[in-house]
Structure 1
Amino acid sequence: MDTKTSPPASDTATPVQPPVYNADMDTSGVDERKLLRKLDMALIPWLSLLYLLSFLDRTSIGKAQLYNLEADLHMTDDQYLISLTVFFFSYAIFEVPSNVFLKRLRPSIWLSLLMLLWGVMMTVQGLVHNFGGLVGMRWMLGTFEAGLFPGVNYYLSCWYKRSEFGIRAAIFFSAATVSGAFGGLLAAAISNMEGVAGKPAWAWIFILEGLATVLAGAASFWIIQDFPDTAKFLTEAERTVVIRRLQSDDQFSAAGEVLKWKYIWKSLLDWKTWIGMVIYVGADMPLYAFSLFLPSIINQGFKATPANLLTVPVYFFACCITCLVGFLADRYGHRGFFNIGFLCIGGAGYIILIASRNAALSYFAVYMATCGIYPVIPNSIAWVSNNVEGSYKRSVSLAMVISFGNINGAVSSNVYRAKDKPWYPLGHGLVLMYIMFGIIASTTYHFALRAENARRDRGERDEIIGKTDDSQLNEKNGRFDTVEDAKREKGDEWSGYRYIL
């Protein structure tokens, strides 16, 4: 049996402090509280607007369907489902490469370019005349939209401490709920343009929303900021404070990191990445099913325009609960407990939807369903991000987690079939199954992280630091000249790193 011998006190990692970033810079005049507000105002509002437009664009087809989209394009129900599905394949395929490009390039260029291009695709979607044209535009829309959501979540994680990231991710993601509410109102308003310039209402929904995205994408070249070490809206002292506070939060790579393939392989081989993928899919597949088919679900008791309008209070509630959970999880921690609790509420909502044959009861259950979807998405992203160190590793891990969730959006596009109207038992049952996946994976992740923290507390992950002639020391955890070398090489595998539960 291999007995581990602890290294001498002089060789242990814990008492050594990392070198100060930009050590010659005097930061005494920087007020951290004011700096944090400055970051929030410069980053969150515009990025949230971009995601609002993104989610509006990808889900507007569900609202356009209520205004004779299928009949005008001579599509069957199966063809309509294919046009929903194809978006998710291109969306998922390009998420990981896009996050790597984002790290290599300037966010102000990469994110703006993506948005400009998907705005063009959205606009052209309103000019198609047949099923083939719609499918082609949906594929291209997914290709260019792929980089925004994983890119912005990774980008925000490069600015904030782990205990600050959750509420920002929640506010950013809440733009999806606002887009749901706003989209219903907008679709109802645009439907009045039926016949203008010879185009039907559904075409105008695509064209006007697409043109708004093009304008926002063009403006983003001047509005989106770059990473902390080069951001022009900060002074040199403020940039230094941002990076120092990140490094004090065990984000050792905040000052910069050179791309190495081993960082990407570390993400691919990390068990946390794979469990995180299952956690995320437990809310993301239900998210797309919910957003694409909510008008149709409500339509079981109401006509098209009232059904769109009745989505508004649902999304308003989702926005409030998402921001509340983001705030509480940042303040109190225990992201795993928040995930499990709210997924259970969402599951109860879908059980009611399966059993209900009353429109009013189903409408009430929809509010419960939002609790298992909207707050869980940003909380899961924050949870995964909190437990991955290394800027490239984190960018790939987040992209893989989000990509896996989105590829399962292809499932959500096909489970609410026209022949199952008006109660959709198959669709609700499959969404409930995914929510159960999320509950099981969140529970597994929580206890696995807790067990790993306990091993580190017992010293089972200690590295050997410095030179020593003691042949009894166990080198399986690595030998490094300095603690900084261990942090840089091992990232979140470093013995002093503690995972967030």
Structure 2
Amino acid sequence: MDVPEPKTLYKDKINNNNSETDQAEKRLIKSYLKKIDWRILPVVGLLYIFALIDRGSISAALVSGLRADMDLSKSQEANAITTFYVFYLFCELPANIALKKIHPHVWFGLIGSLWAVSCMSLAVATTPAMFIFLRALLGAFEAGITPGIVAYLNYWYTRSEIGVRMVLFFMASPISGLIGMPLSGFLTSLEFKHFFPYQTLFFVEVDYPDKATFFTPDERNLILERLNHEKGMASQVNPTFKQTIDILLDWKIYVNALILFGLGSIGTVKGLFNPTFLKSAGYSETQAIYLASLSPLCGIAGVLALILFIDKVSYYKLIVVFGSIATINYSIAVYSHIPQVRLFFLSISGFGVSAITPLLLTWASINQGGIYKTLVSSALIISIGSIPGAFIPKFFVSYYAPNYVIGHVLAISFAGLGITLTLIMALYYNFENISRDKSQVDISYLSIDEQRLKFDNHPDFRYKL
């Protein structure tokens, strides 16, 4: 069955009246969304949980003797952490372009198996050079996971549907911390030298909506019509080099990337050094690892709260609120030397931290105007947003202990930058929407394919605030 060709783009397909036809259509949407949710979200969520546990095991290793056992110098200690992020950020864009060339189930299965081998090999690394090299491989192979799944979810859901699903997917982040930290503490208490990660290979069974066989004919027709009307079908996108360059020249992508760069800095630091901060406040190594799991526990609460508001409150307002919660509580925690105070505010900051990434990436992805631009932009945004992981950890090595003043100042300053840029982008989006409402430019003389290439510059496209 051919994919239906839309007559217009970017205009709502579902009305809010109570006609029998509209109600039947809404029932079909609810039916096929349930099928997609159960087949897609658990698989990608588990994949991401294991990825985060594997990459985050370094935080437990640092407080459990890694420095002393390998006799790491100041630069080697920094490189053991930052090399992962250097390779991670450089490989994200090529990885997402490769995703367009390779079926998703093959791509995710391949990189999943390769990062599993790299991560388990860390347990037998005997020299700093070998450990750093394996961390680099881990970063390269994991680079395709986050931006790839962000793009993949946009294959299946419309702009109004993607928000809750993105939040549910990114709930894997606090869950991984809740599982990983106690597991690390248990293993270190048994006197293992390193945290031995585990990995299971997952394959996404369905690549594209128009190739799925689990829809009824009516469901299939409706989902393809709605997706094709709004963003096009991923299976039919054939990008050119020029299209890629045009996308890379869009300044808005880089502002969104800087927002993630800024507000994601605190999450990066906490993910790597929460046990270190607690240990420096007076807790033992094992206590610090176990207590660090309170932050992701609060993070789960934050994500659940976000689910309640994501379809009711503007994205930029939620970003500012959760970003402020993360920044203010982190600031109080790191400048307090009282163990209980530091533990409390570090944990509460997790409430905001865990909600930031899904909010930012959803806001960015729904404002791109097309599948391929979403695929490229998500990789670029996450890549630039990951840069803090490549240099901020250098200011949290033992040389700067116990106060890590420079590192904390950088993380807090970047977070403030992220909140400021969020407000600026919201003002721009609102101004652009008003201008387009007034101008009413008609480009119906262009073919649908030509209109799609305008992405978010299409005169009928409206940015979501």
Q: Under a length normalisation based on structure 1, what TM-score does the superposition of the two structures give?
A: 0.84
* Structure 2 CA distance for aligned equivalents of residues 103 and 190 of structure 1: 40
The residue that corresponds to 2:378 in the other structure is 398
Contact 1:326/1:378 (<8 A) preserved: no
Quickly say closer, same or farther: Cα 1:491–1:50, change in 2 above 3 A.
same
* Structure 2 CA distance for aligned equivalents of residues 170 and 17 of structure 1: 23
* Structure 1 CA distance for aligned equivalents of residues 12 and 257 of structure 2: 34
The residue that corresponds to 2:295 in the other structure is 314
1:234-249 equivalences under 5 Å are 234-235=215-216, 237-248=218-229
Equivalent of residue 411 in structure 1, options 391, 403, 425: 391
What's the offset of the Cα at 1:262?
3.0
The residue that corresponds to 2:17 in the other structure is none
What's the offset of the Cα at 1:279?
1.0
The residue that corresponds to 1:22 in the other structure is none
1:134-145 equivalences under 5 Å are 134-145=131-142
* Structure 2 CA distance for aligned equivalents of residues 146 and 16 of structure 1: 34
What's the offset of the Cα at 1:269?
1.5
* CA RMSD, Structure 1 to Structure 2 (Å): 2.4
Counterpart of 2:41 in structure 1: which amino acid?
I
What's the offset of the Cα at 1:237?
4.5
Contact 2:88/2:142 (<8 A) preserved: yes
What's the offset of the Cα at 1:314?
1.7
Equivalent of residue 282 in structure 2, options 292, 296, 301: 301
* Structure 2 CA distance for aligned equivalents of residues 463 and 432 of structure 1: 46
What's the offset of the Cα at 1:243?
2.0
What's the CA shift string for 1:444-473, capped at 9, x where partnerless? 11001111111101116x14444xxxxxxx
Bigger radius of gyration, 1 or 2?
1
What's the offset of the Cα at 1:160?
1.1
Is 1:361 equivalent to 2:352 in the alignment?
no
Quickly say closer, same or farther: Cα 1:252–1:289, change in 2 above 3 A.
same
Contact 2:28/2:218 (<8 A) preserved: no
The residue that corresponds to 2:33 in the other structure is 36
Q: Where do 5+ consecutive residues of structure 1 fail to align?
A: 1-11, 19-26, 195-200, 467-479
Counterpart of 2:171 in structure 1: which amino acid?
S
What's the offset of the Cα at 1:77?
3.8
**Higher mean displacement: 277-286 or 108-117:** 277-286
What's the offset of the Cα at 1:327?
4.1
What's the offset of the Cα at 1:14?
8.9
Contact 1:389/1:491 (<8 A) preserved: yes
* Structure 2 CA distance for aligned equivalents of residues 349 and 263 of structure 1: 43
* Structure 2 CA distance for aligned equivalents of residues 14 and 38 of structure 1: 26
* Structure 1 CA distance for aligned equivalents of residues 433 and 297 of structure 2: 38
* Structure 1 CA distance for aligned equivalents of residues 68 and 261 of structure 2: 33
* Structure 1 CA distance for aligned equivalents of residues 321 and 454 of structure 2: 33
* Structure 1 CA distance for aligned equivalents of residues 83 and 260 of structure 2: 20
1:459-498 equivalences under 5 Å are 459=439, 462-466=441-445, 480=446, 482=447, 484-498=448-462
1:267-306 equivalences under 5 Å are 267-299=247-279, 300-306=281-287
**Higher mean displacement: 76-85 or 36-45:** 76-85
1:367-386 equivalences under 5 Å are 367-386=347-366
1:25-424 equivalences under 5 Å are 31-194=28-191, 201-203=192-194, 205-206=195-196, 209=197, 212-213=198-199, 216-217=200-201, 220-221=202-203, 223-235=204-216, 237-248=218-229, 250-253=230-233, 256-299=236-279, 300-329=281-310, 331-424=311-404
* Structure 1 CA distance for aligned equivalents of residues 443 and 33 of structure 2: 37
Where 1:75 maps in the other structure, the secondary structure is coil
What's the offset of the Cα at 1:433?
0.8
Quickly say closer, same or farther: Cα 1:193–1:348, change in 2 above 3 A.
closer
What's the offset of the Cα at 1:166?
1.6
What's the offset of the Cα at 1:101?
1.2
Contact 1:335/1:383 (<8 A) preserved: yes
Equivalent of residue 443 in structure 1, options 406, 413, 423: 423
Where 1:94 maps in the other structure, the secondary structure is helix
Counterpart of 1:317 in structure 2: which amino acid?
C
What's the offset of the Cα at 1:412?
2.8
The residue that corresponds to 2:21 in the other structure is none
What's the offset of the Cα at 1:423?
3.5
Counterpart of 1:79 in structure 2: which amino acid?
Q
Q: Where do 5+ consecutive residues of structure 2 fail to align?
A: 1-6, 14-23
Quickly say closer, same or farther: Cα 1:184–1:433, change in 2 above 3 A.
same
Contact 2:393/2:407 (<8 A) preserved: no
Where 1:226 maps in the other structure, the secondary structure is coil
Counterpart of 1:445 in structure 2: which amino acid?
M
Counterpart of 1:392 in structure 2: which amino acid?
Y
Count of aligned residue pairs for this structure pair:
448
Contact 1:456/1:495 (<8 A) preserved: yes
Where 1:183 maps in the other structure, the secondary structure is helix
What's the CA shift string for 1:379-414, capped at 9, x where partnerless? 000000010122111100010000001122112321
Contact 1:284/1:409 (<8 A) preserved: no
* Structure 1 CA distance for aligned equivalents of residues 186 and 380 of structure 2: 38
Counterpart of 1:313 in structure 2: which amino acid?
L
What's the offset of the Cα at 1:238?
3.5
Quickly say closer, same or farther: Cα 1:13–1:291, change in 2 above 3 A.
closer
Counterpart of 2:223 in structure 1: which amino acid?
V
What's the offset of the Cα at 1:266?
2.6
> Percent sequence identity over matched residues?
28
